[in-house]
Structure 1
């Protein structure tokens, strides 16, 4: 029974993730243009017609600006929370499903658990996906690790995890003070150290693939992100998601 995931791109200039089973292909977020989404899908062996549905985590532009245009062009259903649905770029989407952030749901043969996270959006969530007895967790865009988050991501067979910034680089970097405060705050983005703290608390021995994602181009480096998590996860399946390139399919067996 096939279960896999891939990244179309991850970072402040656009995010999109694919979750795939034998019969279902989910696109989670889309911060890219229609043309760029089509191009990156083709690299991963798919066309827009293969997509079953789009899921949205929150309304920040690097995650949602491509959702409305893409869903309208290809007649795709969109799943999102009530708060995220207030985003005004989703008008004329053919089919909208507002999910209860406290209740699991399914799209075809993939079971999905939305996870409430602390982030400065209307009703943000992340997702845990299950198929064929395996679990893949997607966890980016949150400012702190709550007990609820730790519980929901405790038993993942694969995990895509935010390592957004190094606090020292952020403090010394080019952002204005207000933006530095936002990124580093409890409703902002995870630092390398916060991501490592989560790995310390969950069953990392189960994780077949760990993908470090949403790495800031100005406030972090791949080397710093990698060095923070390797004390807890140091095998060959540690991958760093790229902003400008897709990550090929990773199977969850």
Structure 2
């Protein structure tokens, strides 16, 4: 298994997961043109994709999904709730996710799990090839026991570090937006992500990557420090997904 990010942040999110001959795109918050450019940067032809999987309906995760699906005749996997409220659901093929049931796309097994976020029926995922497991956790305001159990004993993890609490509260956002971001249905801050890591079994972890880092309310170094404190590892071992470049392929074996 290997995975890479096309970009991560409030301007657009997309993560590429590959197992054998199966390639799946998790979310697509960029335009089709931008998505094509970023895929090619990773050596991936857009027509080699097998499916798009959607976490929730917010624009930074779905802006390009409909057009990409139609252009490349891709099936789109999403929950019923997400499909009901997403703006563009004219997909080439629609496949519904039960957020409590595993499913397969080609050689890839997906384990969805619900998360608390201000969306209709959001979920995040653990991906597996049967031997190793990759977890992606983003866009949730608090952690639940089910989230923790889903993420235990992973081989790789991409974890949201959206904001630094002090930077958010001292920043320019209106009070209502500050309350939304920091609320139970908002996003994870650095300290929350640190606390999550301290509760997980990380003995098999090969990769730890911070994602969805706010450009206004956080600094990559703040997020990195929280992650290495949580994982009790050297800071150089931590990678960060950027908005502009995401990150290059990571092998999980």
2:3 paired residue among 2, 5, 17 = 5
What 5-or-longer segments of structure 2 have no aligned partner?
none
Deviation at 1:237, TM superposition (A): 3.3
Map of 1:12-91 to 2, 5 A cutoff?
Answer: 12-91=10-89
Match of 1:195 in 2: 193
Instruction: Please tell me the root mean square deviation across aligned C-alpha atoms, in Å.
Output: 1.0
Would you say 1:94 and 2:89 are equivalent positions?
no
- With structure 2 as the length reference, what TM-score do the two structures score? 0.97
Q: Secondary structure at the match of 1:197?
A: helix
Q: Quick one: distance in 1 between partners of 2:5 and 2:85?
A: 24
Q: Deviations over 1:124-177 (max 9, x none)?
A: 000000104100001000000111100000111000000000111110001000
Deviation at 1:22, TM superposition (A): 1.2
Match of 2:172 in 1: 174
Match of 1:251 in 2: 251
Q: Deviations over 1:83-117 (max 9, x none)?
A: 00113433431200011111000001111011100
Match of 1:240 in 2: 240
- With structure 1 as the length reference, what TM-score do the two structures score? 0.97
What 5-or-longer segments of structure 1 have no aligned partner?
none
Contact 1:40 1:246 in 2 (8 A): no
Match of 1:151 in 2: 149
Contact 2:158 2:209 in 1 (8 A): yes
Contact 1:208 1:237 in 2 (8 A): no
Map of 1:81-230 to 2, 5 A cutoff?
Answer: 81-230=79-228
Q: Secondary structure at the match of 1:79?
A: strand
Q: Quick one: distance in 2 between partners of 1:92 and 1:176?
A: 35
